[in-house]
């Protein structure tokens, strides 16, 4: 118990002494696990949400649709409702193809004639306002969100102005903008939103020249058999005869709803791995920067009798605890963000469905791996160092790199200093180059995705627009997260380099280097690896994007890719300027006195 208390006390003391490092570790790992949690939980998430909506609204197992309202059509639909295996039904209902205008925006719409009291199947869930009444309409929530309309707003439906009395969701139709299911006359649908109107109000639509589809909602004895309902089914064939009837199973609707997320999932998953890499790079830099102090701390602990086990526990516990805390924060963030991502149309009930047990295991493993990868090396090195050597703080000697040193002698002072700083820790320069490459790969992905023309659903412009918007929002969010983390890493790397090189830079100043040259040298140490990293990041991004393109790739302008790569240089210069300047302004006498102490 005493040992545990000691470990806790030492860990807490260290976190209190280095709060910024703890925060950076938390933010980095939390960002990575949040994105990973989101990416991993997308698979099947929308289907799960559809199931919840289906339960909440007594959704049908199948919907049979047929263009027109003639007697043969109605007879065919009614026959379907009475075939074996159907335990309940509602309808036939009519839906009219028209437009709806709200706040100056007009969108394609299907107007469903609704019962004042919904039947046993398809009882739309009113999320605000009330159910339909004569003289007022209820707008499906995804459609209302897209139009920016709410209860009390007036909308124009088929040329008639009516107030919105309610907003609702349903599982009997696909999510916005695929509500029509089939197009006018049974042709392809151009997409649109759903509006419910009192039966009495739809009489005016009957007299107009609008296309109409009739449909019936079916409840089956075995909902899983809904997918087998079709014209090959003898019962269905006998019921519909020659009438053209389209049967949509609930499974099809669930799958249709997740189409919107198909492009988002790889973006999130790949983005999360890149973020995890950046988190590892950032935390590794922090850990390496503290290695010398940690070694001395280990020496002190050993000197007062701590066993290797206790020492290892103290060193690892801090990173592991922070990583696990960050994992929890990331998962909470993923759960909070998930409803927005998995329900982009807002047409399904709003509940968080994840993260699942599997997702939690994956993100926790990643968080632990980040902690282990970054702290294990310094911990093992510290443990292997003899106590006296550790106390002397001379355990780690920088390597002599004669070639780089000779080369740097030919260069102006800032480049000389920058190159020699890189020579001290070449691994860190490589890490920084990878940091830049990962960021530029994502930026390239962003440019690639934005360059692609709208595709995927011929004749369904609204669906394409919504899917593209979803894709653009996700890649934009991923890119923003990566840039933010890369920026934190750049500042961290500069500061760590400046801290480690403090004595060397102080010596250089006693020998005549100006603060400006020191500042420039510290910036150059980051700028030199930035350029190859940026140039490597562009093809990396293209390679990552190509497997997800549908064959015909539209390339973004070459100048935009080059500009993105070159923009990394001024961005790095700006990010390194402040920490480098602060480090260069430190008192030389004080630094050297502290080193000598």
Partner 1 sequence: MNDIGAVLQARDLYKEHGQGQSLVRAVDGVDLDVPAGQMLAVMGPSGCGKSTLLHLMGGLERPTDGEVWVAGRRIDTLNERALARLRRRAVGFVFQAFHLVEELSAAENVELPVLLAGGSPRAARRRAAFLLERFGLADRARHLPWQLSGGQRQRVAIARAMANEPLVLVADEPTGNLDTAATLDVLRLFEDLRTAGQTLVIVTHDERVAATADRLISMRDGMFVDDTQLAGRTTGRLDGLIGLED
| Binding residues vs partner 1 (CB under 8 A) | 394, 397-402, 405-406, 409-410, 413, 416, 420, 423-424, 503-504, 506-517, 585, 587-589, 592-593, 595-596
Write b or e for each residue in 517-536: b if 16 or more Cβ atoms lie within 10 A of its Cβ, otherwise e: bbbbbbbbbbbbbbbebbbb
d(CA 226, CA 251): 8
Helices 264-289 and 461-500: angle between axes, nearest 10 degrees:
10
Closer residue to partner 1 in complex, CB, 29/421: 421
Gap between the Cα atoms of 30 and 363, Å rounded: 10
In angstroms, give the least distance from the CB of 590 to partner 1.
8
Closest CB to partner 1 among residues 262, 401: 401
Closest separation in Å from C-beta 26 to partner 1: 33
Q: Which is nearer to partner 1, 200 or 590 (CB)?
A: 590
User: Which of 82/406 has CB closer to partner 1?
Assistant: 406
CA dihedral of 504, 508, 509, 512, whole degrees rounded to 10 = 170
Supply the DSSP string of 517-540, one letter for each residue: HHHHHHHHHHHHHHHHHHHHHHHH
**Integer Cα distance of 440 and 454 in angstroms:** 24
Residue 459 or 516 having the CB closest to partner 1 = 516
Q: Which of 488, 478, 471 is nearest to 441 (CA)?
A: 478
Whichever of 71 and 406 has its CB closer to partner 1, that residue is 406
CB of 593 to partner 1, least distance (A): 7
Nearest-approach distance from CB 300 to partner 1, in angstroms: 21
| Alpha-carbon span 479 to 481, nearest angstrom | 5
Q: Judge whether 562 and 440 are in contact, CB under 8 Å.
A: no
Q: How many of the other CB atoms lie within 10 Å of CB of 158?
A: 20
Closer CB to partner 1, 21 or 413, in the complex: 413
The residue with tokens 């106390």 is 391
Q: Tell me the closest approach of the beta carbon of residue 570 to partner 1, in angstroms.
A: 24
Looking at the DSSP bridge assignments, the partners of residue 136 are 133
Q: What is the DSSP string of 199-251?
A: HHHHHHHHHTT--EEEEEEEEESSGGGGGG-STTSHHHHHHHTTS--EEEEHH
Minimum Å distance from CB 518 to partner 1?
Answer: 9
Q: Which is nearer to partner 1, 54 or 428 (CB)?
A: 428
**For the chain, how far is it from start to end, CA to CA, in angstroms?**
36
Q: For the chain, percent helix, then strand, then coil, each to nearest 5?
A: 65, 15, 25
Closest CB 408 distance from partner 1, rounded Å: 9
How far apart (Å, rounded) are the C-alpha atoms in residues 61 and 172? 9
- Among residues 8 and 388, whose Cβ is nearest to partner 1? 388
Distance CA 247, CA 316 (A): 59
Min CB(585)–partner 1 separation in Å: 8
Instruction: Of 130, 127, 137, 131, give the one whose Cα is nearest residue 195.
Output: 137
Residue 389 tokens, joined: 């050597």
- Which of residues 337 and 577 has its CB atom nearest to partner 1 in the complex? 577
Output DSSP code: residue 457: S
Q: Which one, 361 or 392, has the nearer CB to partner 1?
A: 392
Q: How far apart are CA 126 and CA 166, in angstroms?
A: 7
CA distance 35 to 331: 9
Least gap, CB of 42 to partner 1 (angstroms): 48
Shortest Cβ 449–partner 1 spacing (Å): 45
The minimum distance between CB 282 and partner 1, in angstroms, equals: 24
Question: Minimal distance in Å, beta carbon 398 to partner 1?
Answer: 4
Q: Which residue's CB is nearer to partner 1, number 370 or number 505?
A: 505
């Amino acid at each position: 118990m005493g040992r545990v208390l000691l470990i806790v006390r030492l860990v807490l003391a260290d976190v209190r002494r280095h709060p910024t490092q703890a925060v950076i570790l938390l933010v980095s790992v939390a960002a990575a696990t949040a994105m990973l949690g989101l990416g991993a939980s997308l698979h099947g998430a929308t289907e799960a949400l559809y199931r919840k909506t289906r339960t909440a609204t007594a959704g049908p197992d199948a919907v049979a649709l047929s263009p027109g309202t003639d007697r043969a059509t109605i007879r065919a639909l009614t026959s379907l409702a009475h075939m074996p295996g159907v335990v309940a039904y509602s309808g036939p209902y009519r839906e009219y193809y028209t437009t709806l205008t709200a706040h100056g925006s007009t969108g394609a719409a299907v107007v469903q004639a609704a019962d004042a009291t919904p039947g046993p199947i398809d009882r739309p869930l009113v999320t605000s306002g009330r159910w339909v009444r004569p003289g007022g309409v209820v707008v499906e929530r995804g459609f209302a969100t897209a139009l920016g309309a709410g209860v009390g707003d007036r909308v124009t439906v088929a040329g008639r102005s009516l107030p919105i009395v309610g907003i609702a969701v349903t599982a009997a139709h696909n999510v916005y903008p695929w509500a029509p299911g089939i197009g006018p006359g049974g042709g392809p649908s151009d997409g649109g939103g759903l509006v419910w109107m009192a039966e009495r109000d739809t009489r005016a639509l009957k007299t107009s020249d609008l296309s109409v589809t009739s449909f019936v909602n079916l409840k089956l004895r075995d909902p899983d058999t809904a997918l087998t309902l079709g014209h090959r089914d003898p019962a269905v064939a006998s019921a519909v005869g020659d009438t053209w009837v389209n049967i949509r199973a609930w499974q099809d609707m669930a799958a249709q709803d997740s189409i919107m997320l198909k492009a988002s999932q790889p973006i999130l998953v790949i983005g999360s791995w890149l973020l995890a890499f950046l988190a590892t790079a950032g935390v590794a830099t922090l850990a390496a920067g503290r290695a010398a102090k940690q070694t001395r701390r280990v020496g002190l602990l050993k000197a007062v009798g701590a066993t290797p086990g206790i020492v290892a526990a103290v060193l690892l516990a801090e990173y592991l605890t922070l990583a696990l805390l960050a994992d929890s924060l990331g998962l909470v963030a993923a759960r909070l963000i998930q409803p927005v991502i998995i329900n982009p149309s807002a047409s399904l009930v709003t509940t968080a469905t994840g993260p699942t047990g599997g997702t939690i295991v994956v993100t926790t493993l990643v968080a632990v791996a980040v902690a282990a990868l970054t702290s294990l090396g310094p911990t093992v090195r510290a443990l292997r160092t003899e106590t006296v050597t550790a106390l002397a703080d001379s355990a780690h000697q920088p390597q002599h790199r004669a070639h780089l040193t000779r080369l740097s002698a030919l260069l102006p002072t800032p480049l000389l200093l920058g190159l020699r700083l890189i020579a001290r820790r070449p691994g860190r320069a490589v890490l920084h180059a990878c940091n830049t490459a990962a960021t530029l790969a994502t930026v390239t992905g962003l440019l690639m995705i934005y360059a692609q023309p709208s595709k995927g659903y011929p004749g369904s412009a609204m669906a394409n627009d919504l899917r593209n918007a979803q894709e653009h929002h996700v890649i934009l969010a991923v890119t923003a997260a990566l840039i933010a983390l890369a920026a934190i890493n750049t500042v961290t790397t500069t500061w760590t380099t400046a801290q480690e090189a403090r004595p060397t830079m102080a010596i250089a100043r006693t020998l005549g280097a100006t603060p400006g040259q020191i500042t420039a040298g510290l910036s150059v140490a980051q700028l030199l690896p930035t350029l190859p990293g940026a140039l490597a990041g562009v093809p990396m991004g293209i390679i990552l994007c190509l497997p997800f393109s549908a064959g015909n790739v539209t390339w973004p302008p070459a100048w935009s890719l080059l500009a993105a790569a070159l923009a990394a240089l001024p961005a790095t210069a700006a990010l390194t300027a402040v920490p480098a300047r602060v480090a260069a302004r430190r008192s030389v006498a004080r630094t050297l006195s502290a080193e000598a102490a």
